[in-house]
Amino acid sequence: MRPLSNFAARDVEALLHPTTNLLAHRTAGPLVIERAEGIYVYDNAGKRYIEGLAGLWCTGLGYGNAELVETAREQMSRLSFAHLFGGRSHEAAIALAEKIKALSPVPASKVFFTNSGSEANDTQVKIAWYFNNARGRPKKKKIIARQKAYHGTTVAAASLSGLGVFHADFDLPIARVLHTDCPHYWRNGEDGEGEEAYATRLARNLEDLIVREGPETIAAFIAEPVMGAGGVLMPPATYFQKVQTVLQRHDIAFIADEVICGFARTGNWWGSQTFEMSPTTVTMAKAITSAYVPMGALTVPDNVYEALVETSGKHGVFAHGFTYSGHPLACAVALKTLEIYERIDIVGHVRRVSPVFQTRLRALAAHPLVGEARGVGLIGGLELVRDKSSKASFEPKLGVGARAARFAEEEGVLCRAVGGDTIGLCPPLVIDGAEINILFDAVSRALDRTEVWARAEGYL
């Protein structure tokens, strides 16, 4: 436990922290980050850490990129704010929308800007409802998400999320949100069932849900290519192909939540390309600005845009948006971020270094605490279990994953326990092979320390 410094005491008395055990925080206090450079962050005592989760899956270019800093300075000097309400516009928003359309994994008519992935997914829900009203289908409003999915924390986005902690005591999920199976083959596949057979079963379960609810009531299905906060879960082979066939059969839109996977994380520009997805629309955020400025966005297909135009004509306005939708600072930094990604061939870089990352990740499957090591590109998860042969998990209240993350912090790597006791790893995209090895050396030491601690506590 850290002694409470002056900074920590001030924090405890002044800040309400998101996604934090507030009771434990009163005693433990925060890790106070003072500065950062490249893939490293430094706390207020001067200790250096590899940022092993790219902040929150987002700092693709690492920290202190001089070009992004200068771009922000120039944009704030020239045009510090402009909004897009009532038909106003500015060059950075136009150019960024054009760039996203060019990069999009699916055809896009327009791009809508938000300040976060949560807001973007919330907007996806509103547009799905608006579109079906415009097309004379007032019953076609339900959205299907998946157990253990994470899509944000607004009222609608948290409802889509399939993690109970984001629902408990918030009176969520809201009506019109349904959840289907979590596609985790290692955990949920039946004895003797191969991945493709498992994918077939999940697609059949999805179709059974659609038929039971009535296809005329289902507007959309939303999915992350890789389920991040749910535990870095990989889709089983042929899963998305089979799911898409079901959606197409019942005229249900497919929303790809690329907030974590977009912009090279999986070894392609989009996770949709990595897993052969053909979504109707795409949500993005996080690495679009390398997290230097809040920014989210979604693509709007032609037929949806046409319906929005018609209905806004009827009402006199498309009555949705945010003060900071398309903020010039965010747009300028996003444009420069995408320019840098292309110039340094970030996709090629991820493909070159990801074999080192995945080899080191999967080698830890042999560790006594690790039930499954899984990942793709520069994202991975280590699921910790009490018993490898039975896949028995630890009791959640024991906080084994959180303890492992704390040991990793002490060893010089920042990471998080996600989806229970899975250690999530997602370093800045610019990490190199030598740094990957340093990261995994530290994580390995942290796992060894966790095993010693768990045995001492009688948990093993």
* Domain-located, residue 11: no
What CATH number should be reported for the domain holding residue 445?
3.90.1150.10
* Domain-located, residue 353: yes
Same domain for 288 and 367, yes or no, is: no
Work out the average pLDDT over 358-381.
98
Same domain for 426 and 378, yes or no, is: yes
- Domain that includes residue 450, residue range: 31-64+346-456
* Residue 60 near residue 284, CB atoms below 8 Å: no
Among 183, 276, 273, which residue's Cα sits nearest to residue 235? Answer: 183
Work out the average pLDDT over 179-183.
98
Same domain for 87 and 197, yes or no, is: yes
Same domain for 376 and 407, yes or no, is: yes
Same domain for 147 and 285, yes or no, is: yes
Same domain for 308 and 163, yes or no, is: yes
Furthest C-alpha separation in the chain: 69
The pLDDT score that the predictor gives to residue 3 is: 57
- When pLDDT is cut at 50, 70 and 90, the band that residue 77 belongs to is very high
* Domain-located, residue 1: no
Tokens of 58: 């987002």
The pLDDT score that the predictor gives to residue 7 is: 84
- When pLDDT is cut at 50, 70 and 90, the band that residue 4 belongs to is low
- Where does a domain end: 319, 343, 367? 343
The pLDDT score that the predictor gives to residue 8 is: 86
- Predicted confidence (pLDDT) at residue 278 exceeds the cutoff of 90: yes
Same domain for 318 and 437, yes or no, is: no
* Domain-located, residue 56: yes
* Domain-located, residue 445: yes
- Predicted confidence (pLDDT) at residue 5 exceeds the cutoff of 80: no
How many domains does the chain contain in total?
Answer: 2
* Residue 422 near residue 384, CB atoms below 8 Å: yes
* Domain-located, residue 394: yes
What CATH number should be reported for the domain holding residue 271?
3.40.640.10
Same domain for 383 and 297, yes or no, is: no
The pLDDT score that the predictor gives to residue 382 is: 98
- When pLDDT is cut at 50, 70 and 90, the band that residue 234 belongs to is very high
Which one-letter amino acid corresponds to residue 302?
D
Same domain for 72 and 56, yes or no, is: no
Count of residues for the chain?
460
Same domain for 391 and 330, yes or no, is: no
* Domain-located, residue 391: yes
- Predicted confidence (pLDDT) at residue 41 exceeds the cutoff of 70: yes
Same domain for 136 and 225, yes or no, is: yes
The pLDDT score that the predictor gives to residue 62 is: 98
pLDDT in tens, 155-174: 999 999 999 999 999 999 99
Percentage with pLDDT > 70 across the chain: 99
Same domain for 39 and 78, yes or no, is: no
Work out the average pLDDT over 183-197.
97
pLDDT in tens, 89-120: 999 999 999 999 999 999 999 999 999 999 99
The pLDDT score that the predictor gives to residue 161 is: 98
pLDDT in tens, 287-332: 999 999 999 999 999 999 999 999 999 999 999 999 999 999 999 9
- Where does a domain end: 343, 362, 385? 343
Mean pLDDT, the chain, integer: 97
- Where does a domain end: 289, 316, 343? 343
- Predicted confidence (pLDDT) at residue 2 exceeds the cutoff of 60: no
* Residue 136 near residue 117, CB atoms below 8 Å: no
- pTM equals 0.96
- Predicted confidence (pLDDT) at residue 1 exceeds the cutoff of 60: no
Question: How many other C-beta atoms are found inside a 10 Å radius of the C-beta of residue 317?
Answer: 12
* Domain-located, residue 19: no
For residues 256 and 270, what is the distance between their CA atoms, to the nearest angstrom? Answer: 10
